[in-house]
Structure 1
């Protein structure tokens, strides 16, 4: 898989790995890279079958496969311990990674994730899937921002969205790859397994997320032995893109609190819930 390593070069620098959502490409994290690279070694990558990571995603592909692929990449990079920050699908990868390779993760941030698929998220995925199958790639890409961003942000950033639309159509991951990755995500159900996750985990939601109801993050945090929940009030599903001024300090605070130099250690469930206003 294609990856970039940014930021701190010293041997004792802690590593933060960034894992994107259904789009799969590391470019999603552009608003966070400068901030994180000032404090950590940062690994950002294109998931198998997306972006520069060419390849065919087979039928029967599972979230466990995505976790194994990431673990293999980190092993090649000689990274045996890291923080993982995952958005939606990327966060589900992180949860599977925590179950399969518990010693690997120092902490985990799951942004707009879930335990099992909610009816609202399923509805949105089915609409997008039908658009792709019946109307084609351009229609799928054109509709995608509706599920990711707040209406006022869409209105104010039309020129950027038109540019992104052209880029995404030109570099589309392929219909079969996307459908197989989407099927893996929709079939993932961690309900019976989350009690085994020993990694300190932040379930990070956004109040106005259309795609994944914020209540799914509350549910996720409540099922984790060392789970916390925090929430932004504005920004939509991709609030790390729409409001990084609010998002970035929250993320940095979590990573600092769970660095090896911090004395803070989890002790039982931490039902912390904080709402953060838009700046």
Structure 2
């Protein structure tokens, strides 16, 4: 299995297809498995790279104080290992926070940026939601945390219609659970994240993508991102909640692939 060296550890990663490099960066769950519904379509056009975050899946389970800055350095280390000078980056939620950080601190590494169900600064609602999840984990344990997670990710109708899929996702979470200390520290990293004042420095062509029924990162957080990033395009899908790429993959993929095609054409013209 392929691993990339990072500071005091390794990142597990996977590659699919060929073409311009496209990094798919997952959210709090931190594993490459999140992007399975996108692999077939995306790998027909791009060299798709997925990874398990430090502390998650098959990557090193570091007992550290996690931060979005640290997660971003790990992604850059993966790019260096693969000798990727510049990439398209699609980040979901925490992956979007990572994308923002790279766009601000290492703008020369991006061809384009897709911020999906993400946020630029933790507001009172999002803080309370994440503090509640962290408290549930620490006080009631992993099983309560895992069973509650779909309530934050998926629309009620989807959980009602596909209970077997939700149960399968729960089992995957149990098998890959990172431990209370690591997961709680990653939750705190999300709570502490704030890049809003720096978003005006982002140079990469940017798509801000969300679903109108997202409970965890509501539409107004994506609208705020789009207002602060120069030239950003905002697309709000009709439904899909915080996991639109899994709930409604066709409209999600159409929006992403259309944007990436335009961004790659612009990159080729200017490079």
The secondary structure found in structure 2 opposite 1:50 is: coil
* 3-state SS, counterpart of residue 115 of structure 1: coil
Per-residue deviation at 1:183? 1.1
Choose from 245, 257, 260 the match for 2:262: 257
Do 1:131 and 1:140's aligned partners in 2 also have CA atoms closer than 8 Å?
yes
Q: Distance in 2 between matches of 1:257 and 1:264?
A: 11
- The two structures, once aligned, show a CA RMSD in angstroms of 1.4
Structure 2: stretches of 5+ with no match in the other structure: 1-10
Partner SS, residue 241 of structure 2: coil
Matched residue of 2:235: which SS? strand
CA contact (8 A) 1:48 1:57 kept: no
> Aligned equivalents of 1:191 and 1:162: distance in 2?
36
Partner of 1:277: none
Q: What's the offset of the Cα at 1:156?
A: 1.0
Q: Give 1:57 shift.
A: 4.0
Which stretch shifts more, 41-50 or 117-126? 117-126
Tell me the residue number matched to 1:4.
Answer: 14
Q: Does 1:84 align with 2:89?
A: yes
> How far is 1:227 from its partner?
1.3
Deviation at 1:264, TM superposition (A): 8.2
1:50 counterpart (37, 52, 56): 56
The SS at the match of 1:238 is: helix
The match for 1:221 among 214, 222, 226 is: 226
- Give the equivalent residue in structure 2 for 1:275: none
Q: Which moved more, 1:36-45 or 1:110-119?
A: 110-119
Structure 1 length-normalised TM = 0.90
2:36 aligns with 30
The runs of 4+ residues in structure 1 deviating greater than 4 Å are 261-265
Residue 162 of structure 2 corresponds to residue 157 of structure 1: yes
| 3-state SS of paired residue (1:21) | coil
CA gap 1:192/1:57 in 2 versus in 1, 3 angstroms: farther
Query: Where does residue 96 of structure 1 map in the other structure?
Result: 101
Query: What per-residue deviation string (whole Å, max 9, x for no partner) do you get for residues 49-107 of structure 1?
Result: 10011221412x32111111100111010100110000000000001011121111000
Write the distance in 2 (CA, Å) between the matches of 1:264 and 1:148. 38
Q: Residue 191 of structure 1: CA displacement? A: 2.1
The aligned residue for residue 235 of structure 1 is: 240
Q: Residue by residue, what CA displacement relative to the aligned partner does 1:123-179 show, whole Å, maximum 9, x if unpaired?
A: 221221121111110110001000100111001110121122122112201111111
Report the secondary structure of 1:237's partner residue: helix
Whose helix proportion is higher, 1 or 2?
A: 2
Structure 1 unaligned spans of 5+: 266-279
